A and B are shown apart, each in its own frame.
Chain A
Amino acid sequence: MQPLDPIEEILARLMPPALSQGRQLEIEEMIDELAGPDATTHEPPASPWWRSRMVIGGGIAAALATLCAFIPSKSNTPIAQAAHASSPIPSSEMVLISESDRIESMTDEGLQDEGDGSAMHALRVNAVGQNSLRDEESGMIVQISELREELLLTPISAF
């Protein structure tokens, strides 16, 4: 091995400082966001407004499901009693006969800046999940619909 120049010996006593802690964390968060939902250590990227919209969507769905459950209760049918019992999926007397998931509308929201230099393509989707249940005793069929709004974000890696 070549002997070190005297200047190199002095240079070896100098070390580059590390990135600041804040910046290190910022870059690591950026890496997590870039890695997307596959990253195991952190949650997938989701900004607060996106989360709040999911909550709103979930709220609407819950309200509709509750409405569906209470309307038949006025007629005091066995189904209504089952719904009153607040079991999310009715007991063995109720049979699931079909389930569907359809997209009602899609709106292209264009590109969104993520604040770290990357961009995401946003697509808003209104979907309806629908389950049909039959009461074995009365033969009545009940449909439960769940409206939800989703925002699909696709990372853009090249323009």
Chain B
Amino acid sequence: MNCPANSWKQWLAENGPRLLLFARGWSNSRQDAEDLVQEAILRMWHHQADKGSTPPDLPLVFSTIRFCGLNHHRSESRRRKREESVIYLNDFQDVWLDPVLEEDEEAVILRQAVQRLSQKLRDVVVMKFWGGLTFLQISETLAISPNTAASRYRYALEQLAQELRRMKEDRHATA
């Protein structure tokens, strides 16, 4: 029989990056995001104990990260505001996404735009695009209807397209 620890490690290696990306939307730094991922995995382990200790379904983990993120936000909102300002000024290397190609201007612009999306839109985009979830799974994770999930996704893409155009125009204007 396959050892649960090994199957969980394999599951972590496969899904760690997408969980980390989702957690970034609920934290102020990479370290905080990794804390969220770790906390979610710990909770998931106990949750799955009654289910044969198999690795959990991805939508459930997204949901747990969101729950953990909300908890942290509630308890530390004042400290977060202070930290946000510091991170914004100093942590410019701390990016959420890496371009696959070098010198991919559009990708770099969109990376910034994704980070600036509102929480509601960004959660859907991350879960749909990098998490590989269906709109039905996203709707269950966020407790919204599948139609709302789909419309948030389309709206987010429109916003990203606008942002891309605007930033390109700005760059060309200054060049």
A10 within 8 A of B: yes
Listed stretches A29-37, A59-67, A98-106; interface member: A29-37
Give the docked Cα–Cα distance between A38 and B9 (Å): 15
CB atoms of A8 and B157 under 8 A apart: yes
Say if the beta carbon of B34 comes within 8 Å of chain A. yes
Beta-carbon contact of A35 and B97 below 8 Å: no
B138-175 near A? 1/0 per residue, CB < 8 Å: 00000000000000000001001100100000000000
Contact with B3, one of A8, A13, A41 (Cβ below 8 angstroms): A41
Q: Are B3 and A34 in contact (CB under 8 A)?
A: no
Q: Which listed residue, A28, A38, A117, touches B39 by the CB 8 Å rule?
A: A117
A10 touches B164 (CB 8 A): yes
On chain A, the residues within 8 Å of B129 by CB distance are 8, 11
What is the interface size of chain A, counting residues whose CB is below 8 A from a CB of the partner?
Answer: 34
Which A residues are in CB contact (< 8 Å) with B99?
13-14
Contact of A10 with B96 in the complex, beta carbons under 8 Å: no
Do B107 and A32 touch (CB < 8 A)?
no
Q: Which of B41-49, B59-67, B75-83, B84-92 contacts A (4 or more CB under 8 A)?
A: B41-49
Asked whether any CB of chain B lies closer than 8 Å to the CB of A48, the reply is no
Q: Count B-side interface residues using an 8 Å CB cutoff.
A: 44
Verify B5–A31 contact, CB threshold 8 A. yes
| Nearest opposing residue in chain B for A20, CB measure | B34
List 7 A-B pairs, Cβ < 8 Å. A10-B106, A15-B97, A23-B34, A28-B12, A30-B41, A31-B45, A157-B46
Residues in chain A near residue B38, CB distance under 8 A: 23, 26-27, 30
Interface residues of B (CB under 8 A from A): 3-6, 8-9, 12-13, 16-18, 20-21, 30, 34, 37-39, 41-42, 45-46, 49, 53, 95-101, 104, 106-107, 110-111, 114, 125, 129-130, 157, 160-161, 164
Chain A residue nearest to B37 (CB atoms) is A19
A7 near B: Cβ within 8 Å?
A: yes
Residues of chain B contacted by A15 (CB below 8 angstroms): 17, 97-98, 100, 130
Known: A6-B161, A18-B16. A27 touches B101 (CB 8 A): no
How close is A141's CB to chain B, nearest CB, in angstroms? Answer: 47
| A37→B42 CA distance, assembly (Å) | 18
A14 to B95, CA, bound (A): 11
User: Does B42 lie within 8 Å of A16, measured CB to CB?
Assistant: no
Question: B5 and A14: CB pair below 8 A?
Answer: no
